Structure 1
Amino acid sequence: EASPAVVALVQTAANLPVVFVGIAAGAVADLVDRRLLLLVTQTCMLVAAAGLAAVTLLGLITPGMLLGFTFVLGLGATFNYPAYQALQPELVPKEELKQAVTLGAANLNLGRAVGPAAGGLLIAAAGAWLVFALNALSFVGGVVVLWRWKRPVEEVDGPPERFAGAVRAGVRYALFSRVLQGVVARSFVFGVASAALMSLLPVYAARELGLGSGGLGMLYAGIGGGAVVTAAVISRVREHLSDDRVFALGSVIVAAALVALALLRSPLAGFAASFLAGIGWLFCLSTLNVASQEALPGWVRARGLAFYLTAIAAGIAVGSAAWGKLANVVGTPATFAWSAVAVVVTLALTRVWRFDAIARLDLSPAPLAHTEGSLVEDEDAANPALVLVGYDVRPECEDEFLRALREVGRVRRRTGAVTWSAYRDADQPHRFMESFVLPSWDEHLRQHRRRTVSDAEVQAELRQYLRQGTEPEAWHYVRPPRPSLRLWPR
C-alpha cells in the first residue's frame, strides 16, 4: 500500500518515540553518565538495524514490521539525542557553540546527501536488506569512539536527584522559562508546517516525476547538499543578521522551495528545489538548535533539550500525518503549496517569542551559599520545605516592587519551588512576605546550586525598592515527621 497518507506515516513512526518518552530521556541524560548512556543507545540501534536487515533479507518484511522497526530505531534515537546535544557545550568554547551546532547538523546532512543516493543504487543492485545492514554497521564506529573516550567524571555537590523528581524539575523549568517556551513553541509550529517536505517527497518523486529509488535518493541528496552549503556560509550570514532574521530567511527559502516543487515537474527542477530546501532547512534548524542550547543552564540542559526535540518531533509527526491526509484529497503538489503558506505564516510568532532575547541572558552558575539547616536530620531531608522571605518596602515603590517580585517568583518556581505566593503584612504597613514550598529540603539545597547570574540579577533588583538600612530576611521550615500511632486513644 503506497498512498500518500501511509508513506507519510513513516515520518510519524520515526518521531513518535520522542513524543512519548522524550522528556524522560532528557531526565535520564541529566542523571547518568552521558557517555555510558550513548553507548547503550548506539548498541540498541545497532541491534534494531541488524534485525531489520535480517527480516528483509529473509523476505519477511511487511509495512507493519517496517513501521515497528522504525519506531524502535526512533526510540533509541530519542534517548541518544538529548545526551548527544547536551555534551556539545562541554566540547567547544561558548563563542564557537553556534558554529559547532551548525557543523554537527551539516555532518548529518552530508550523510543525507551521500546516503540516499548510494542507498538508491544499492537497493537497485542488491535490495533494501543491504542498506539496512550497512546502517547497522554504521553504529559500530560510534560505539568504538564512545568506548575509547575518557570523559572527565563530574563531582556532584549535595544530594543526588531521583528520576521522578528530575522529570518534575525539568517540567517546572520549562513552564516558567519564557525563552525556552518560545523555542519549544516555534520548533513545534515549524515542524508541523514544514513536515510535508520530507514526508511526501517519496510520493512526489514516484507520482509526479516518475522516479525510482535512485531518483528519490538524488532528491534527498539535493536537500543534504544544500544543507552542507549552508554550513559553509552561515557564520558569515550571522555576522550581518540576527538570529530571528536568519530564521526568517530560512523559512522564506523553504517556502520558495515548496512552491517550486508544487509548480515544476522535471527531475532537474526537482533536484534544484530540493537543494534550495536544504539551504533553508539548515538555516531554520540550526537557529532552533542553537537557541535551545543557549536558553538552558547546565543543570537542566538535557531535559530542556528534550523539550525542544520533543516539540519538533511532535510537530513533524503531527504534520506528516496531516499533510499525508491532505495529499490524499488534493494531491501532493497542492499540499506542498499549502505547506509553503504555513511555513511563512509561522513567522508571525516572532512578535511574541524572539530568539534575540536569549542573548541577553547570562546562565552561568551563581550558586547561593547553602542554608545551614542544622536541625534537619537526614531522615527529614526528603520532607517538604517551606521558605519565607520578608521585605520592608518603600511606600512609593510598592507597584514596582510587586512587579519585580513576580519575576523572582518565576525564578523560584523555575529552580524547584512547587508553589509560590506573596502576601502583605496585615499589621505592619509596607511589609511583604514571599512564601514558596519545595518538594523536599534536599530540593531546596539543589535550588541554591541552580541559580544563574541572570537569576541573581532578578533577585538583586528587589533591593532598590527596600527601605534604607533593611535587608531581605529569610526563614526556613521543614515538615516534621508524623507522630507515632497510639493503639488506644487517651
Structure 2
Amino acid sequence: MPPWSGRRRSRSPSTRRSRFGRSWRCRAASVGGVAPPSAIVPPVRLLPTRITETVAPSRLGSNFRWLLASTLVNNVGDGVAISAGPLLVASQTRDPLLVSMALLSEFLPALLFGVIAGAAADRYDRRRMITAVNIGRAVVLAALVATILTGNVNIAAVLVALFVLGTAETFADAASSALLPGLVAREDLGVANARMQGAFLLTNGLLLPPVGAFLFAVGMALPFATNAACFALGALLVTRVATSTIERSGEGTSFRAEMVEGVRWLVAHPPMRTLALTIVTFNVTYGAAWSVLVLYAGERLGMNEVGFGLLTTAVAIGGVIGISSYGRLERRFSLANIMRGGLLIETATHLVLALTTSAPVALVTLGIFGAHAFVWGTTSTVVRQRAVPDELLGRVGGVYRVAIVGGLVIGTPLGGLIAKTFGITAPF
C-alpha cells in the first residue's frame, strides 16, 4: 500500500481562520454597513503565518515542516562551513596533494557507502537514523573545534574529520530522502522536494559561504562551532517528526543480500534504469565542463576572478528561480515533458558555451542552466520516489547517489584531459 494512502485530511488551521474571517467580515458589514478596520486590514501578527504557509504549505503537514526545519538548520551549518573547510585545510598545508585530498573526502564517502547507507535506511528507523547521525556530526565537529582552540590541529586531523563528516552526510541524506515520501501525499512530492532543494541552495549556494569565510577570519574555530550547534539543533528538530511503524522486508537476510536486492530491482525496471544512466551521463558532462570553468572564464570570456564568481552566482540565482517556479511548472506540464525540456536545455547550454565569447551571453546561459538543473533534479527525485516501493527507497536512492558522484568523479579529470588536448572549449 502506498505510504500516502489512507491519510485523513483534516481542515488546516489556516483554512479555518480564513473561513472564520470571511463570515465575520460579512456579519460586520451587515451591522452598521461598514466593517471595522481590523476586518479589512490583516493583523500584522498573521505575517509570520503567511510566510510559513508560503515556504511550507499547511497541506504538506506538520511532519514535513519539522523535517524541513531540521534540514534548513543543518544546511545553515554546512553553508557556514563550506568556505571555512578549504580555508582550514589551506592554513595547515600548502601541499597540492593534501589539499586535493580534502576535495576527495567530499566525494569518496558517497562512492564507498552510498548503497550501504541506503540499505541502512531501509532496515532501520529513518528518523532515528537522521537523529543519531546529526548528533555524531556535532560530536566530530566539537572535537575538531577543541583541537583548534588548544592549538593541536593538524592536516591529518582535519582530513579525518572531513572524511567522517562526509560519511555521516551520506547516511543522513539516504535516510532523509527515503523518509520524505511517507510524510506528504503523492501529488505533493514535487513541492516538498523543491522546498528541500531550496533550503540547500539558499544556504549553501548563495547566502552563507561568505559568512563562513568572515567567521573564519574572526576566529578559526567559529564556523565549525556554529556547524556543530546547527547539527545538534537539527537532531532535536527531527525528533518532532511523527512516523508510523512500517514493516521492513528481508528479515533474516544479510545486509549484503539487501544491497544486492536494491541493485537488482533497479536493473530490472527499464524506466528507472534509464533515468540512472541519464544521471550518470549528465554528471560526466557536467564534471568535465565545470572542472575547467575557471580557465574558460579567463581564456574564453576574458573575465577576472570577480567575473568567475558571477558565473557561479548566476547558476545559483537561476536555481532559486527554478525552485520557486516548480509548483507552477508541475501544474502546467507533465513530469515527462519537464524532463524532455531539461534534456534540450542541457544540450543547448553546452553548445552555447562552446561557441560564445560573450560574458553576458554566458551569464544568461548559466542562469537558465541553473534553473534547469534544480528543476530537473527535483523532477528526477519525484519520479524515483513515486516509482520505487517504500521498502526499497533507501537502497535504490543509494545507487542513484553513487551514479551522481561517480559521474562527477569520471568527468572531472576527463574534462581536464580533453581541454589540454583539444582546447578549453572542447569539454563543453
Say whether the fold is shared (TM-score over 0.5).
Answer: yes
- From 309, 314, 318, the counterpart of 1:222: 314
Q: Check whether the contact 2:287–2:412 (CA below 8 A) recurs between aligned residues.
A: yes
Relative distance call for 1:255 and 1:14 in structure 2 (3 A) is farther
Q: Tell me the residue number matched to 2:110.
A: 18
- Percent identity for Structure 1 against Structure 2: 27
In the alignment, what sits opposite 2:43? none
Deviation per CA, 1:91-118: give whole Å up to 9, x if none: 1101111221122112211112212343
- Is 2:195 the counterpart of 1:103? yes
In the alignment, structure 1 residue 85 sits paired with structure 2 residue 177: yes
Match of 1:113 in 2: 206
- Corresponding residue SS for 1:149: coil
Equivalent positions of 1:479-490 (< 5 A) are: none
- What does 1:12-411 correspond to in 2, within 5 Å? 12-51=104-143, 58=151, 60=153, 62=155, 68-111=160-203, 112-122=205-215, 125-126=217-218, 129-155=221-247, 159=251, 161-196=253-288, 199-200=291-292, 209-211=303-305, 219-254=311-346, 256-257=348-349, 263=356, 272-327=364-419, 333-334=424-425, 338-339=427-428
Cα 1:321/1:40, change in 2 over 3 Å: farther
User: In structure 2, what is the Cα distance between the partners aligned to 1:240 and 1:288?
Assistant: 17
Q: Cα offset for 1:226?
A: 1.6
User: Alpha-carbon deviation of 1:39?
Assistant: 1.4
Shift of 1:239: 3.8
Separation in 1 of the partners of 2:152 and 2:418? 32
* Letter in structure 2 aligned against 1:103: R
Q: What is the alpha-carbon root mean square deviation over aligned residues?
A: 3.7
- Checking the alignment, whether the CA contact within 8 Å between 2:138 and 2:231 is kept in structure 1 is yes
Which whole-Å CA distance do the structure 2 matches of 1:251 and 1:132 have between them?
A: 39
Higher helix share: 2
1:156: how far off? 5.7
Q: Give the Cα separation in 2 of the matches to 1:55 and 1:149.
A: 34
Distance in 1 (CA, whole Å) between partners of 2:259 and 2:168 is: 19
Q: What residue in structure 2 maps to residue 426 of structure 1?
A: none
Q: C-alpha deviations, 1:97-145, integer Å up to 9, x for none? A: 122112211221111221234334445x437654444333332221111
Distance in structure 1 (CA, Å) of the matches to 2:101 and 2:376: 23
Q: Which structure has the greater CA radius of gyration?
A: 1
SS state at 1:338 partner? coil
Are 2:133 and 2:172, in contact at CA under 8 Å, matched by a contact in 1?
yes
Q: Is contact 2:190-2:326 (8 Å) kept?
A: no
Between 1:314-323 and 1:77-86, the stretch displaced more is 314-323
Distance 1:276 1:220 in 2: 12
| Inter-partner Cα distance in structure 1 for 2:152 and 2:303 | 29
Work out the CA distance in 2 between the residues paired with 1:175 and 1:316: 21
Cα pair 2:249 2:391 within 8 Å, conserved = no
Q: 1:209 to 1:67 in 2, by over 3 A?
A: farther
Instruction: State how far apart, in whole Å, the 1-side matches of 2:145 and 2:345 are.
Output: 37
Give 2:206's aligned amino acid: A
TM-score when normalising by structure 1: 0.57
Larger RCO of the pair (alpha carbons < 8 Å, separation 6+): 2
| Residues 289 and 427 in structure 2, CA contact (< 8 A), matched pair in contact too | no
CA distance 1:129–1:274, shift in 2 (3 Å): farther
Separation (CA, whole Å) in 1 of partners of 2:256 and 2:192:
32
Partner Cα distance (1:329, 1:49) in 2: 42
Deviation at 1:232, TM superposition (A): 1.9
Q: 1:133 to 1:164 in 2, by over 3 A?
A: same
Gaps of 5+ in 1: 340-490
1:87 is displaced (CA, Å) by: 0.9
